[in-house]
């Protein structure tokens, strides 16, 4: 099953493995890809996953989460075009999708403006006006056009992990204007931006999809029943998924949590291994709601079965076991790997060809997250000497 192709919109993913977006903060000072960026994506192209997401790219350097975040704009288009071209020269098969974001309240205050949709409690954070939100919407439209122009197969309109588009969806967003309060108002930004995007690109084979956090795990977060509530209630996320489909989008990538606040929800580790089961359930819930392909997240922790799940037979708790089981049972259409794609960019190829003993399995040690949180270039600090050294230096500084 994992080897079987699947149509996504008018295109086809050649297998069911997805390299999730992984921001690695290695652009130059203007957000162009650097040799480190090219090296990472050339390797991923060689790895041959059905879909390769290019990491979270900002369309504005005025507000951005990472000092050296990749930017998608007219001035970086040449570099992005080269990136896509080089990846295709290595392997023409993977679908290459750009994740486009606005970092909102998670923009870095040391180098950019922190902005939010509803008050954060910090008076330094600029509360966006209605007009500014509309301008941000235009930014997404422009960025999508550039993605198309440089040869990407499509985009992921990022709504996950607490960044601006995720923030706007929350019950806690009680803005009194047309972007806050009711579910209708909180999803207006998505709907209106999508309408503009569709108008701008025309309806051809260019793919439009979206990744969102189905349950954020904070009071009033998306996936709770009200501004002050914390319990998981999927009514709104499921309505939203249906809306995403009805708007004509081609896929949904299901994630959960906010890395800055609830990292264990986003990334299962030995602290709470069963977190992976919640990801399975979340993807299944969306699958039951829509007919467009659904991508699941959080699979890196499973490895070859050497994990802390409470099942004594390692063969029944490995990545391959759960990927095949969930795919066969129709609980998900594609399985996404994040950290595992850093640990071993050739993971997909090795899994698909049965060379399991050659895989460098992610240990879920968190080293790459430390690099990202420290605003350094990101890569696997276990298997790659370069990033190992960057992490060592950070630890010596502490
Ligand atoms: C270093 C790092 C960078 C990440 N960058 C992104 C990103 O750019 N966009 C995104 O949606 N998720 C990002 N994530 C989250 C991953 O895509 C993924 O959802 C998460 O790691 C859980 O999946 P896994 O268990 O397969 O790693 C990042 C995670 C890490 C550790
Ligand atoms: S640094 Fe650790 S968590 Fe990150 S990819 Fe490498 S092994 Fe996995």
Type and span of the H or E element at 333: none
What is the per-residue pLDDT across 28-43, written as a single tens digit (0 to 9) for each?
A: 999 999 999 999 999 9
Handedness of CA 100, 210, 21, 52 (dihedral sign): negative
Cα–Cα distance between 292 and 277 in angstroms, integer? 22
Q: What is the pLDDT of residue 257?
A: 98
Of 20, 132, 111, residue with least CA distance to 69: 111
**Domains of the chain and CATH, by start:** 6-362 (3.20.20.70), 365-398 (no CATH)
Check if 364 has its Cβ closer than 6 Å to any atom of ligand 2. yes
Q: How high does pLDDT run on average in the chain?
A: 97
What is the structure's pLDDT at 204? Answer: 85
Ligand 2 contact via 362 beta carbon (within 6 Å): yes
Taking only the tens place, the pLDDT of each residue in 91-131 is 999 999 999 999 999 999 999 999 999 999 999 999 999 99
Q: Check if 188 has its Cβ closer than 6 Å to any atom of ligand 1.
A: no
pLDDT in tens, 197-246: 999 998 789 999 999 999 999 999 999 999 999 999 999 999 999 999 99
Q: How far apart are CA 205 and CA 6, in angstroms?
A: 15
What is the DSSP-derived secondary structure letter of residue 159? B
120 CB contacts (<8 Å, ≥6 apart)? 105
For residue 61, count other CB atoms closer than 10 A to its CB. Answer: 19
Q: Which tens digit of pLDDT belongs to each residue from 172-205?
A: 999 999 999 999 999 999 999 999 999 999 878 9
Predicted pLDDT at 396: 87
Q: Are strands 95-101 and 154-157 parallel, antiparallel or unpaired?
A: parallel
What is the pLDDT, as a whole number, of residue 132? 98
Encode 68-87: b = buried (16+ Cβ within 10 Å), e = exposed: bbbbbbeebbebbeebbeeb
Mean pLDDT over 167-171 rounds to 98
Cβ atoms of 341 and 22 closer than 8 Å: yes
**Could you tell me which residues come within 8 angstroms of residue 222 by beta carbon, excluding any fewer than 6 positions away?**
166, 169, 170, 171, 212, 213, 214, 215, 216, 236, 237
The rounded distance, in Å, linking the Cα atoms of 248 and 269 is 35
The gap from C-alpha 36 to its chain's centroid, in whole angstroms, comes to 20
Q: What is the mean pLDDT of residues 1-25?
A: 98
248 Cβ contact list (under 8 Å, min separation 6): 194, 198, 203, 208
Max distance between CA atoms of the chain, in angstroms, equals 57
Confidence band of 303 (pLDDT split at 50, 70, 90): very high
Return d(Cα 297, Cα 283) in angstroms, integer.
8
Share of the chain above pLDDT 70, in %: 99
Cα(101) to ligand 1 centroid in Å equals 14
Q: Are 380 and 368 in contact (CB under 8 A)?
A: yes
Tokens found for residue 197:
């995007």
What are the residues whose beta carbons fall under 8 Å from the beta carbon of 228, sequence distance 6 or more? Answer: 219, 220
Q: Measuring CA to CA, how many Å separate 353 from each of 296, 359, 380?
A: 22, 11, 23
pLDDT for 193 equals: 98
| 3-state percent helix, strand, coil for the chain, nearest multiple of 5 | 40, 15, 45
Which atom of ligand 2 is nearest to 365's Cα? 2
Smallest Cα–Cα separation from 7: which of 234, 320, 271, 293? 293
- With H, G, I as helix, E, B as strand and everything else as coil, classify residue 253: strand
Contact residues for 386 (Cβ-Cβ < 8 A; gap 6+): 379
Q: Ligand 1 pocket, 300 CB below 6 A?
A: yes
Question: Which residue's alpha carbon is at the smallest distance from atom 8 of ligand 2?
Answer: 362
* CB-count exposure of residue 113 (10 Å: 0-12, 13-18, 19+): middle
The answer to whether the CB of 256 falls within 8 A of the CB of 214 is yes
pLDDT score for 387 = 98
Average pLDDT over residues 127-149: 98
How many whole angstroms separate alpha carbon 346 and alpha carbon 358? Answer: 10
Give the model confidence (pLDDT) of 316-344 as tens digits: 999 999 999 999 999 999 999 999 999 99
3-class state of residue 169 by DSSP: helix
The mean pLDDT of 301-320, rounded to a whole number, is 95
pLDDT, average across residues 242-261: 97
Calculate how far, in angstroms, residue 206's C-alpha sits from the geometric centre of ligand 1.
24
Inform me whether the pLDDT recorded for 388 exceeds 80. Answer: yes
Tokens (6 digits) for 239:
């309505």
Q: Whose CA is nearest to atom 11 of ligand 1?
A: 21
The 10s digit of each residue's pLDDT in 54-98 is 999 999 999 999 999 999 999 999 999 999 999 999 999 999 999
390 close to ligand 2 (CB < 6 Angstrom):
no
User: Tokens in use for 82?
Assistant: 């080269």
The whole-number pLDDT of residue 114 equals 98
For residues 366, 371, 377, 378, the Cα torsion angle rounded to the nearest 10 degrees is 10
Atom of ligand 2 nearest to the CA of 371: 1
């Amino acid at each position: 099953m994992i080897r079987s192709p699947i149509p996504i919109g008018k295109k086809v993913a050649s297998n069911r493995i997805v390299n999730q977006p992984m921001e690695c903060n290695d652009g130059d000072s203007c957000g162009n890809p650097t040799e480190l960026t090219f090296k990472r994506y050339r390797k991923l192209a060689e790895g041959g996953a059905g879909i390769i997401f290019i990491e979270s790219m900002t369309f504005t350097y005025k507000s951005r989460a990472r000092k050296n975040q990749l930017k998608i704009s007219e001035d970086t288009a040449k570099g992005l075009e080269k990136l896509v071209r080089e990846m295709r020269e290595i392997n023409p098969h993977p679908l290459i999708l750009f994740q486009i974001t606005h970092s909102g309240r998670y923009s870095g205050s040391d180098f950019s403006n922190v902005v939010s949709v509803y008050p954060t409690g910090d008076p330094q954070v600029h509360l966006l006006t209605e007009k500014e939100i509309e301008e941000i919407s235009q930014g997404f439209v422009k960025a999508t056009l550039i993605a198309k122009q440089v040869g990407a197969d499509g985009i992921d309109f990022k709504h996950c992990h607490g960044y601006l588009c995720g923030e706007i969806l929350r019950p806690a967003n009680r803005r009194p204007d047309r972007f806050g309060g009711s579910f209708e108002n909180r999803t207006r930004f998505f709907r209106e931006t999508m309408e503009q995007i569709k108008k701008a690109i025309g309806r051809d084979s260019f793919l439009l999809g979206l990744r969102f956090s189905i349950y954020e795990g904070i009071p009033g977060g998306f996936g709770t029943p009200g501004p002050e509530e914390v319990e998981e209630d999927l009514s709104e996320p499921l309505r939203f998924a249906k809306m995403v489909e009805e708007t004509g989008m081609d896929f949904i990538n299901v994630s959960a949590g906010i890395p800055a606040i609830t990292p264990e929800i986003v990334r299962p580790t030995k602290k709470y291994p069963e977190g992976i089961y919640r990801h399975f359930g979340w993807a299944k819930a969306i699958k039951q709601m829509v007919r467009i392909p659904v991508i699941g997240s959080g699979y890196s922790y499973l490895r070859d079965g050497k994990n802390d799940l409470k099942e004594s037979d390692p063969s029944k708790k490995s990545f391959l076991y759960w990927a095949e089981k969930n795919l066969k049972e129709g609980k998900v259409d594609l399985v996404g790997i994040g950290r595992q794609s850093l640990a071993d960019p050739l993971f997909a190829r090795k899994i698909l060809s049965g060379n399991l003993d050659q895989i460098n399995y992610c240990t879920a040690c968190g080293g790459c997250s430390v690099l990202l949180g420290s605003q350094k270039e990101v890569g696997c600090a276990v298997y790659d000497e370069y990033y190992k050294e960057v992490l060592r230096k950070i630890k010596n500084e502490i």
